[in-house]
Amino acid sequence: MFVAIGILLWLLSVSLSSPEGFQYVSDIAGHFFMKFILWGILTALSYHIVGGVRHLIMDLGYFEELESGTQTAKIAFGATVFLSLLAGILVW
């Protein structure tokens, strides 16, 4: 995730530096490899957020048993897949 933050901060820095920098970021964002990297970053971020919400709910004392914990893990994974597909639609 730290590499992803570095990539995003670099893109932001270059795009805000000048009109030419913005054009450069726009040009490289159109390539397949960069779109794939951005999709991967968004997928990892969605997994992190969904897992964090799941753990916050478990910290409140819900779904702590093995059976319900397994079910919420499957639900969290399904939500991540759904968000990943939405991110793919957004990027492409």
Q: Which amino acid is at 88?
A: G
Using CB atoms within 10 Å of the CB of residue 90, give its burial: 0 to 12 exposed, 13 to 18 middle, 19+ buried.
exposed
Nearest Cα residue to 3 out of 55, 11, 31: 11
48 assigned ligand-binding residue = yes
38 C-beta neighbours (distance < 10 Å), count: 20
Query: Residues comprising the binding site?
Result: 48
